[in-house]
Structure 1
Amino acid sequence: MSKFPFYESLTEPLPPAHFSVLLKSLWYDAKGDWKTAHDLVDSLAGEEAAWVHAYLHRKEGDSWNADYWYARAKKVRPSHTLEEEWESLVMHFMA
């Protein structure tokens, strides 16, 4: 599935209603609203939510907290850029 509909939605004031909570979190992150992005995933359970949570703490610069969430997601902190990780997350959740 193409990521372009996701990118096109970034011109709108709100994320599309049909986006999952995880995609909405990534949408708010792309719009520069880290707090809303984090608030959306902060109380969610599951490995996928933990992966987005980890990414957000990595972006925040809180490596210890990010590593905690990566472990909950059964992943390790990636060595690629934040932009590449964000894109991987979007592609994963758009599929």
Structure 2
Amino acid sequence: MKISEFKSSLTAPNPPEGISSQLEALWFDGKGDWKSAHDLADGPADKLSARIHAYLHRKEGDIWNADYWYRRAGEIRPDISLEAEWEMLVNRILKSS
């Protein structure tokens, strides 16, 4: 799947079939459903989920909590817009699958 296809899927009522929970979290965030996105990112203990969790708390404005999750992911908070971070994360997942 290309990022353009992923973005187009945001008009659908449900996420695309067979995507990872991390990509699904970003899909819900892209639709403006922060809570569903956070619920998906909050469970798994892997670094990618922690990275998405960090982004979501940054978006929420809870920078202290975001920085905790960036550290759990082994990364630092990027100095880019939230939109650019969302797109970077989507691209990272799409390229790895």
The equivalent of 2:90 in structure 1 is 90
Write out per-residue CA displacement over residues 15-72 of structure 1, whole angstroms, 9 at most, x where no aligned residue. 0121110010000001000000000111111110000000000000000000000000
For these two proteins, the number of residue pairs brought into alignment is 95
CA distance in 2, matches of 1:35, 1:17: 20
What is the CA distance between 1:84 and its match in structure 2?
A: 0.5
Counterparts of 1:62 and 1:23 in 2: how far apart (Å)? 22
Q: Distance in 1 between matches of 2:69 and 2:94?
A: 21
Separation in 1, partners of 2:22, 2:12: 18
* Alignment map for 1:7-86 (pairs within 5 Å): 7-86=7-86
1:89, CA displacement in angstroms? 0.2
The one-letter amino acid of 1:20's match is S
The CA distance in 1 between the partners of 2:37 and 2:2, in whole Å, is 22
Gaps of 5+ in 2: none
What's the TM-score, normalizing by structure 2?
0.95
CA distance, structure 2, for counterparts of residue 73 and residue 53 of structure 1: 9
Q: How far apart, in 1, do the equivalents of 2:25 and 2:81 lie?
A: 19
CA-atom RMSD, angstroms?
0.9
Q: Percent identity?
A: 56
1:36 is aligned with what amino acid?
S
Q: Which runs of 4+ in 1 moved over 6 A?
A: none
More helix by share: 2
List alignment gaps of at least 5 residues for structure 1.
Answer: none
